[in-house]
Amino acid sequence: MSINITMPALSPTMEEGTLAKWHVKEGDSVASGDVIAEIETDKATMEVEAVDEGTIGKILVSEGSEGVKVNAVIAVLLEEGEDAGDIGDVAAKAPEKADKSNSKAEEPANEAKSEAKAAPAKEQQPVEKPKEAASSGERVFSSPLARRLAKEAGIELSAIPGSGPHGRVVKADVEKAKKDGVPSKAAGGPKLAEGMGGDAVRGLYEEDAYETVKLDGMRKTVAARLTEAKQTVPHFYLTMDCQLDALLKAREEINASAPKDKEGKPAYKLSVNDFIVKAWAIALQMVPSANATWAGDSILLHKHSDVAVAVAVPGGLFTPVVRGAELKSLRQISAEVRDFAIRAKSKKLAPHEYQGGSTAVSNLGMYGVKDFAAVINPPHGTIIAIGVGEERVYPDKGEIKIGTFMSVTLSCDHRSVDGALGAELLGVFKQLIEQPVMMLA
Q: Catalytic residue positions?
A: 414
Instruction: Tell me how far apart the alpha carbons of residues 7 and 209 are, in angstroms, rounded to a whole number.
Output: 39
CB atoms closer than 10 angstroms to residue 174 = 26
Distance, CA of 39 to CA of 33 (rounded, Å): 16
The DSSP letter of residue 397 is T
Cα–Cα distance, 6 to 52 (Å, whole number): 12
Across the beta sheet with 73-78, the strand order is 3-6, 73-78, 54-59, 29-30
State how far the Cα of 112 lies from the Cα of 145, in Å rounded to an integer: 9
Rounded to whole angstroms, what are the CA distances from 135 to 119, 128, 193, 198? 25, 15, 15, 10
Distance in angstroms (rounded) separating the CA atoms of residues 128 and 156:
16
Among 259, 282, 280, 278, smallest CA distance to 269 is for 259
Cα separation, 140 vs 114, in Å, equals: 20
Asked if residue 140 lies in contact with residue 130, where contact means CB atoms within 8 angstroms, the answer is: yes
Q: Which residues, including other chains, have CB under 8 Å from residue 349's CB and lie 6 or more apart?
A: 43, 44, 318, 320, 340, 343
Residue 255 phi, psi dihedral angles, 5° rounding: -65, -35
3-state secondary structure labels for all residues of 189-203: CCCCCCCCCHHHHHC
Peptide linkage before 379 cis (omega within 30 of 0): yes
DSSP per-residue string spanning 64-133: TEEEEETT-EEEEEEPTT--GGG------SPPPPP-GGGSTTTS-HHHHHHHHHH---SS--PPPPPHHH
